[in-house]
Structure 1
Amino acid sequence: MAKYVYLIRHGIALDRALSEQDETRPLTNKGRKKTKQVAKTIKEKGIYFDQVLTSPLLRAKETAEILKDKGLTENLENFSPLAPNGDIQDWLNSWDKSSAETLALVGHQPDLGNWAELLISGKIEEKLVLKKAGIIGLNCPENQSPFGKSQLFLLTSPKWLIKSE
């Protein structure tokens, strides 16, 4: 059996130059709108997250809240290792304890791209770039370390998920 892990980058946030603290930069109106559209498309595809873990930074928490508000999960938790420069090992330490079969991790680039590379190939090459509100989907083996053993099934920017209206 496998676990499905979705790595989701936060939506478009207020420019760093306009905010005193990186931790409190919110999503912009455009970022909220795009993220809501992405969440709507994910729901239409029949995806539901047993659990969503989010970076404690405001823009990631707002992104995760949009996922919850759109009915993609009922279980949302702050998870400090998803903050910038977090350690994937902290997540993996809880890997076997989690009963979630479909998990979303909401965080930041380059960390999410690097984590995906580590899970797929066992090494970080900094080649995967995840756009804001983009998604990486991985099929990770259960009951063993997923490093170098996970399979990529989705890598998409938000423009491929947003329907033109």
Structure 2
Amino acid sequence: MNIIIIRHAIAEDRAVFAEHNTDDSLRPLTAKGIKRMEQARQGLKRLEPEADYIFSSTLTRAVQTADLLAECYPEAIRKAIPQLNPGSDPAKLTSLLAELPTQSTILLIGHEPDLSELISWCTNGSHFNFLQLKKGAACLLQFKGTAKPASAEMIWLLPPRQLRSLGLETCA
């Protein structure tokens, strides 16, 4: 099983959005965030040509990021799930992932610091965050069988700039 963990693209500033809205879950991507994710998704597609599932948190910015990625993976099953919402327990997500076929490639779009905790949970079984994903960054975890704690190997971790660079190479 291959799981690609992706932090949502650049969203509107939290403080500015809060001046007019009370529900941060509705905070959308910026035009810059959309443009950069459109470039980065080409790099991601180059690294991982196929995806079976695209799961995102239910927050607007993650759903919008997943929608942009789904354009490159039209055959993937697409779903927003609460197990990727901020503050969710990684054990609940790995239980869901364990129900999927072991040969699957799954894209997970969510938020920090939860995604870093998920990477830690999958690679060493702890909740200790040993890295931080920038907005639009991606990390490939590979499991020999089903997803369970301390059973993944990190294959790559790329900041958004490198994903965009790979995408430009694809289009050239």
Answer yes or no: same fold by TM over 0.5.
yes
The count of aligned residue pairs is: 162
TM-score after normalising by structure 2: 0.87
Q: Does 1:140 align with 2:143?
A: yes
Report the Cα offset of residue 7 of structure 1: 0.6
User: Which stretch of the first structure deviates more once superposed, 26-35 or 115-124?
Assistant: 115-124
CA distance change for structure 1 residues 72 and 120 in 2, over 3 Å: closer, same or farther? farther
Moved more, 86-95 or 16-25: 86-95
Runs of 5+ in structure 2 lacking a partner?
Answer: none
Structure 1 CA distance, aligned partners of 2:48 and 2:100?
22
Tell me, which stretches of 5 or more residues in structure 1 are unaligned?
none
Deviations 1:131-156 (Å, cap 9, x if unpaired)?
A: 1010011002314x621121000111
Q: What's the TM-score once normalised by structure 1's chain length?
A: 0.90
Amino acid at match of 2:149: F
1:39 counterpart residue number: 41
C-alpha distance after superposition, 1:13-61 (max 9, x if no partner): 0001122221001000000011111111122334221001110000000
Is 1:129 aligned to 2:123, yes or no? Answer: no
Aligned residue in 1 for 2:9:
11
How many angstroms apart in 2 are the aligned matches of 1:124 and 1:46?
A: 27
Q: Name 1:152's counterpart in structure 2.
A: 154
Aligned to 2:51: 49
Which piece of structure 1 moves more, 24-33 or 82-91?
Answer: 82-91
Distance in 1, Cα, partners of 2:124 & 2:92: 19
**Higher percent of residues as helix:** 2
Matches within 5 A, 1:13-162: 13-19=11-17, 20=21, 21-71=23-73, 73-99=75-101, 101-143=104-146, 146-162=148-164
Deviations 1:70-118 (A, max 9, x none): 2365311011110101121222222332126100110001000111011
Q: What value does the CA root-mean-square deviation take over the aligned residues?
A: 1.7
Seen in structure 2, the aligned counterparts of structure 1 residues 147 and 46 have a Cα distance that, compared at 3 Å, is closer
**Distance in structure 2 (CA, Å) of the matches to 1:112 and 1:5:** 12
1:93 partner SS? helix
Does the Cα contact within 8 Å between 1:9 and 1:133 map onto a contact in 2? yes
Distance 2:46 2:139 in 1: 17
* Percent identical residues: 28
Separation in 1, partners of 2:83, 2:136: 19
